[in-house]
Amino acid sequence: MAADIQASLRSAKGYDVARRALELMETRGVWPTPRNFELWVRYLVDGEGPLAKEIDRLVAAGHAVTESVGEALAAQYLPDSRLDGGIREAGEVLSKELKSVTRAIETAQKSSEEYGQELASASQRLGVEDTGATKEIVEGLASATRKVQGKNAMLESQLAETTAELDRLRQNLEQVRRDAMIDGLTNLTNRKAFDERLAEICQHADAEGETLTLALIDIDHFKTFNDTWGHQIGDQVLRYVASVIGRLGAAPRVAARYGGEEFAIIFPAESGLTAVAVLEQMRLEISSRSLKRRSTNEDMGAVTVSAGYAERLSGEAITSLIERADAALYASKHAGRNRTSAASPMAAVAAA
């Protein structure tokens, strides 16, 4: 897909594609950031692709493509290409450094072989030649020794430089990995990384005979809040809620932005009783703060969240666990919002 975009922008219709993307962004009220530009160019180039279909779905449902929505779309549809590119670039550097080290080692080995041959030759000559040739032999040995010492010094210097470069490369790779796992708006784990971690934790729980609890959290009436106060304020609300969820869901728990205004927390080796206590603390803390608009000091009221949680049954499939947690979240919404509900285990039994 990245190649298709590059080909489209470099073709005779490249400027037309770029203009159409910017016009769409302006029409939708989307800021012309590089990330948003890439999203909308992808939308035009691959009109039948998953990104285009998701944007069409959001627009048809009346959702604005806000900064937070753009972040979610980019996290779901763009990070793979950035991650692959970062890893590919780092891999090329790593390959180059390893080739350099290999050449240096080969040179050192060759020098050592030559030195060994010189020693063997000297031994033979000392055994058959008269003492008048001793000086010449010693001088040859001294010259060979100096040559090997010089090669070894060069090798040590090159190895030191390569070690420093590999350390820098390792740090860059770690940063690329972190960026690919984090939601840009909230700094929580993104959906892709959340799915991977949930699978890993479920696998570990099965191996160790442990339980775990999954919670889904949704901001109440978020669309109404966005429409009333604007999307920039909406993004600030997302970050505020995420800060509380991230603190109470800190490692070894996993707090993630599940999508849009929905969040998730994995409680490894923790029961539903422990999870509900944390979720209630989270819910009460979020709703206790009355938000004010900074520019006008206007009171915007409190933000509330609804939550649902499911304690995993032994051997339960991930899809079943998510469905039960989602059903519990829906129960909280249906019962009036701003509350926490537990999932029924019967749903998992029926789905098994």
- Count Cβ atoms below 10 Å from residue 230 Cβ, excluding itself: 13
Whether 200 is catalytic? no
71 vs 77: CA distance, rounded Å: 10
**For residue 121, what are its two tokens?**
């030759």
From 261, 262, 311, 316, the catalytic residue: 261
- Residue 239 DSSP SS3: helix
Instruction: Confirm if 253 and 194 have CB atoms less than 8 A apart.
Output: no
66 vs 155: CA distance, rounded Å: 55
**E strands, 220-319, where?**
254-259, 262-268, 290-292, 299-302, 305-311
Residue 8, sorted as left (phi over 0), alpha (psi -120 to 50) or beta, turns out to be alpha
Task: Report phi then psi at 155, rounded to 5.
Answer: -65, -45
Instruction: Confirm if 89 and 139 have CB atoms less than 8 A apart.
Output: no
Active-site annotation, residues: 261
